[in-house]
Every structure is written in structure tokens, then in C-alpha cells.
Amino acid sequence: MRAWAQYCVVCVAATVSTSGVRAQDSSAIPAPALEALAYFVGQWESEDSENGQVLGTGEDVRKWAPGKCCLTMVGSSTENGKRLQFAGISGWDAKGKQLIEHWHSTDGVFATIRYPLSGMKDALWSGTVSVVLGDGVQHEGTCTLERTKDGFVFVARTRGGGTEIVRKSIARRVSAGDASGN
């Protein structure tokens, strides 16, 4: 199936050079961005669907990278009976004033999700998504991420190659990680 990296949650590709900077004394990454990233630290499980059809389930672990410059995300999912592995990175883009996520999966999918700080309203975030499927077809579209009591709901609506895809992931926190980054 056209799985494109589990559910793409907040942010990626720390394009800000923060090597050697501890988050507590870093003025390069705005506090709202760090707080947004910290929400996702921990272990997650999800149920994923595409165009209303349940694809399967997944799980991932999100941790701070050294210096708290970004989150690393590693996990796996089962979609239509096929086991996939995926990895991502989520961080701050100072030029675009946005959180960015980059995801790669073993079925050849690459996805980029952008959440402008201006589109991150309390528990509901609005952003854009770009997905290149394993067959090379590119999809572009919009996405929302809604934080819930014990997780989040991610919905992406993309179009490419004459096809529209609505991808939804309902994620639940299994355990919290060390949000302090220590």
C-alpha cells in the first residue's frame, strides 16, 4: 500500500545550528517550539487509515537528540499485513518560523511536514505536507494535528498523480519520556 511514514507528527530537520547548546540557555529555538516538541517525547502507538480504510497499527519512540536541537523518531507499523520500519527527525526551521518533520520508511516513502508557528493554535495545528511515494509519485497537501487528552490525531489530505489520499493516524501515548532532554 502507499504508506508514507506512519503518522507524521510535528516537526523536523533542525536547520538551526545548535550544536553544543543546551535548550535551557538556547535563544535560537523559541520556547513555544520547544514546548511543542516536548509534548511528543515518549512511546506512542497508533491506528492508521487511508481514505477511510483501516491500514493497521504502529508504534514509535520519540527522544530528544543531544543538545535538545530536535527529536528523533523511530518506529514500525503493519499496513495491510506488511511490516514497515520508519524514522524521522523533528525540529525548528528559523527561516520559515516553523516546526518541520522529515520521515523515511522502508517502502521508499519520504514525507516532509511543516507546521508554521502561526498555525499552531493551542491543541490544533495546521500545516502542509509533501509526500513522495515509493513509486516516485509526489503528493502535496494540507494537514492538521490535534492534541488530545492522551495523544493526537493527525490528518493529511494530499493530491498527486491524479489521486487524492486522506491519511489519518490516531495516536495514544504509551509512556512518557524525559521531556527535559537530560
Model-wide pTM > 0.75: yes
Angstrom CA distances, 104 to 33, 44, 67, stand at 22, 18, 23
From start to end of 4-150, where are the E strands?
42-50, 53-64, 70-79, 82-93, 98-105, 110-116, 120-121, 124-132, 138-148
Render pLDDT for 106-130 as a digit per residue (tens, 0 to 9): 999 999 999 999 999 989 999 999 9
The pLDDT-based confidence of 161 (bands split at 50, 70, 90) is: confident
Residue with cell 495514544: 172
Average pLDDT, the chain: 85
Distance CA 139, CA 137 (A): 7
The CATH number assigned to the domain with range 23-176 reads 2.40.128.20
Render pLDDT for 21-68 as a digit per residue (tens, 0 to 9): 344 444 588 999 999 999 999 999 999 999 999 999 999 999 999 888
Q: Domain residues of the chain, as ranges?
A: 23-176
The set of cell numbers assigned to 3 is 504508506
CB-neighbour burial class of residue 5 (10 A; exposed 0-12, middle 13-18, buried 19+):
buried
The pLDDT-based confidence of 155 (bands split at 50, 70, 90) is: very high
Distance CA 140, CA 158 (A): 5
